[in-house]
Structure 1
Amino acid sequence: MALAQPAAPSEAKVLTISINDVERQMREEPKEEFDYSQRSQWLRAAVLGANDGLVSTASLMMGVGAVRQDIKAMIITGFAGLVAGACSMAIGEFVSVYSQLDIEMAKVKRERQSVGARESMSTEENENLPNPIQAATASALAFSIGAMMPLLSASFVRDHKVRLGMVAGVSSFALLMFGGVGAVLGRAPVGRSCVRVLIGGWLAMAITFGLTKLIGSSGL
Structure 2
Amino acid sequence: MRHFEFHKSHRIAWLRAAVLGANDGIVSTASLIIGVAAAQASHSSILLTGIAGLVAGAMSMAAGEYVSVSSQADTESADLAKESHELTHEPESELKELTGIYIGRGLSADLAHQVALALTAHDALGAHARDELGMSDTVAAKPLVAAVASAGTFAVGAALPLIVTALAPQLYLIKAVTGLSLLFLAILGGLAAKAGGAKLITGASRVAFWGALAMLITAMVGKLFGVALT
TM-score range relative to shorter protein: 0.7 to 0.9
Sequence identity (%)? 44
Q: Distance in 2 between the 1:90 and 1:210 partners? A: 29
- SS across alignment from 1:130: coil
Match of 2:214 in 1: 204
Letter matched to residue 174 of structure 1: F
The answer to whether the 8 A contact 2:37-2:46 is kept is: yes
> Is the counterpart of residue 215 in structure 1 residue 187 in structure 2?
no
- SS across alignment from 1:116: helix
The answer to whether the 8 A contact 2:14-2:145 is kept is: no
Q: 1:61 aligns with which of 33, 48, 56?
A: 33
> Is the counterpart of residue 192 in structure 1 residue 202 in structure 2?
yes
The answer to whether the 8 A contact 1:69-1:160 is kept is: no
What is the RMSD computed on CA atoms of the aligned residues? Answer: 2.6
Which 5+ residue runs of structure 2 have no aligned equivalent? Answer: 90-124, 127-135
- Could you list the per-position Cα deviations for residues 36-90 of structure 1 after superposition, in whole angstroms to 9, with x for gaps in the alignment? 3332342222112100110000000001101224111111111111111111111
Match of 1:23 in 2: none
The answer to whether the 8 A contact 2:13-2:142 is kept is: no
Match of 2:148 in 1: 137
Distance 1:162 1:191, change over 3 A: same
The answer to whether the 8 A contact 1:50-1:147 is kept is: yes
Q: Distance in 2 between the 1:133 and 1:183 partners? A: 24
- Could you list the per-position Cα deviations for residues 140-195 of structure 1 after superposition, in whole angstroms to 9, with x for gaps in the alignment? 111111100001111133x2122222212220210110111011111222212212
Q: Distance in 2 between the 1:102 and 1:198 partners? A: 35
Please give the TM-score of this superposition, normalised by the length of structure 1: 0.74
> Is the counterpart of residue 152 in structure 1 residue 124 in structure 2?
no
Which of these two proteins has the greater Rg computed from alpha carbons? 1
Q: Per-residue deviation at 1:108?
A: 2.1
> Is the counterpart of residue 176 in structure 1 residue 148 in structure 2?
no
Structure 1 segments (4+ residues) deviating >4 Å: none
**1:4-83 alignment, distance < 5 Å:** 33-83=5-55
Q: Per-residue deviation at 1:114?
A: 2.5
The answer to whether the 8 A contact 1:94-1:132 is kept is: yes
Q: How many residues align?
A: 182
- Could you list the per-position Cα deviations for residues 14-54 of structure 1 after superposition, in whole angstroms to 9, with x for gaps in the alignment? xxxxxxxxxxxx9xxx8664443332342222112100110
